[in-house]
Each structure stands twice: as structure tokens, then as C-alpha cells.
């Protein structure tokens, strides 16, 4: 198979999965983001890299955000929001983080492929991204399938970008109003 076919198959898979995302779940997440005092974000591995790009855009939108574990991250309090990106909803470090959020009265929003997961049961808001996670395999050898959960992280990235566009409307932001919040020390 050549690279063009691989990319075309990836895009087809993402397009098919994107049509299955529940807009109501996305709107609930947008409402949580807009009403939060401070937004903490975390994921592990590739999901962590993707959620970090979302944190950056939330900052550009003028929201108070931080990545969990960064030295400049503030203390959590009631009224804050923790957004976790986890395909399985079962990553040990993220389960522990979610439990601490519950203890601290911080709302949890989970972006996942698995609503029925440990973190999914702790979260007030769950946005399900229909996709395979790294532990799932394709049964038929002729069926197209990406490696180890790639479809989840790709769809998460695109979903976060879609959420940014919706948030721009809700928050009355434009590229021009966001640009002064973009880093100039690069």
C-alpha cells in the first residue's frame, strides 16, 4: 500500500468516526469550559500531547488554563474544571488524578473512546469519540485499521480544533482578538 492510499484510508476512517460524535456531549463540554474558573488539562502519552495543543488554544481564547504537573499550575478549587483526554479512560495516573479532582470538588470532563470506564464514571461530562483504542485489534485482516489507537488521538485533535471554533463564537473571539495572546517568545 502506498502513502497516498494510507492517508486516504486514515481520512475516510476519521470522517466516518466524526459523523458519530454526539453534538449534545460537545455542547455540554463547551458549557463546562465557559463556566469554569480555571481549566486544568491532562492526558498521557500521545493523548497528553493532543490535549496540550487544546490547552494552548484555550489560552489564546483568553481562558485561565494550565497543564497538570507544570510548575506554574495553581492549586485547584471548587468551580474549576479538569479535562482529561484518555482513549481507554483507564490509565492509572489519570484515574488517580480524577479521584483527587473528585476529592477537591473539581468538575471532570473526559474525552474518551470508552464512556463506561473508571474515569467515565467519575466525570460529570463525557465526550465520546468513536474510535479504537490501543488495546483493541481488528478481527479481519482485510479491514483497514490504524496502529495502536492512532485514530483516537487524531480524532481528539480534530475534535479539539472543532471545539475551538465553537468556543470562538460563544466567546466572541476572532483570530485578531486571539493573536495578542499567542506567544511572542518562541
Give me 40's grid cell: 486544568
The residues near 161 (Cβ < 8 Å, ≥ 6 apart) are: 57
**Is residue 142's pLDDT more than 50?**
no
Chain centroid to Cα 34, Å, comes to 15
User: What pLDDT is recorded for position 186?
Assistant: 85
Domains parsed from the chain with CATH numbers: 3-171 (3.40.50.10490)
pTM of the model: 0.92
More confident residue, 106 or 140: 106
Percent of the chain with pLDDT over 90: 88
pLDDT band of residue 149 (cuts 50, 70, 90) is confident
Is residue 157 within 8 Å of 111, Cβ to Cβ? no
> Quick check: helix, strand or coil at residue 116?
coil
Give me 173's grid cell: 473571539
87 closest CA partner among 121, 135, 122, 54: 135
User: What pLDDT is recorded for position 139?
Assistant: 45
**Is residue 163's pLDDT more than 90?**
yes
User: What pLDDT is recorded for position 136?
Assistant: 57
Q: Mean of the pLDDT values across residues 97-119?
A: 97
Q: What is the rounded average pLDDT for all residues in the chain?
A: 93
Amino acid at each position: 500500500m502506498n502513502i497516498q492510499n494510507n492517508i486516504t484510508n486514515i481520512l475516510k476512517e476519521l470522517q466516518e468516526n466524526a459523523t458519530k460524535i454526539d453534538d449534545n456531549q460537545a455542547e455540554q463540554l463547551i458549557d463546562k469550559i465557559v463556566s469554569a474558573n480555571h481549566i486544568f488539562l491532562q492526558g498521557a502519552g500521545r493523548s497528553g500531547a493532543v490535549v496540550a495543543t487544546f490547552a494552548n488554544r484555550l489560552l489564546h481564547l483568553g481562558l485561565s488554563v494550565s497543564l497538570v504537573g507544570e510548575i506554574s499550575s495553581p492549586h485547584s478549587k471548587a468551580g474549576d474544571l479538569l479535562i482529561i483526554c484518555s482513549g481507554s479512560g483507564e490509565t492509572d495516573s489519570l484515574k488517580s488524578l480524577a479521584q483527587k479532582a473528585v476529592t477537591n470538588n473539581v468538575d471532570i470532563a473526559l474525552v474518551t473512546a470508552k464512556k463506561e470506564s473508571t474515569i467515565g464514571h467519575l466525570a460529570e461530562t463525557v465526550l465520546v469519540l468513536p474510535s479504537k483504542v490501543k488495546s483493541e485489534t481488528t478481527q479481519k485482516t482485510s479491514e483497514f485499521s490504524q496502529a495502536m489507537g492512532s485514530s483516537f488521538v487524531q480524532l481528539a485533535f480534530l475534535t479539539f480544533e472543532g471545539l475551538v471554533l465553537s468556543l470562538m463564537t460563544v466567546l466572541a473571539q476572532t483570530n485578531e482578538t486571539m493573536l495578542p495572546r499567542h506567544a511572542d517568545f518562541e
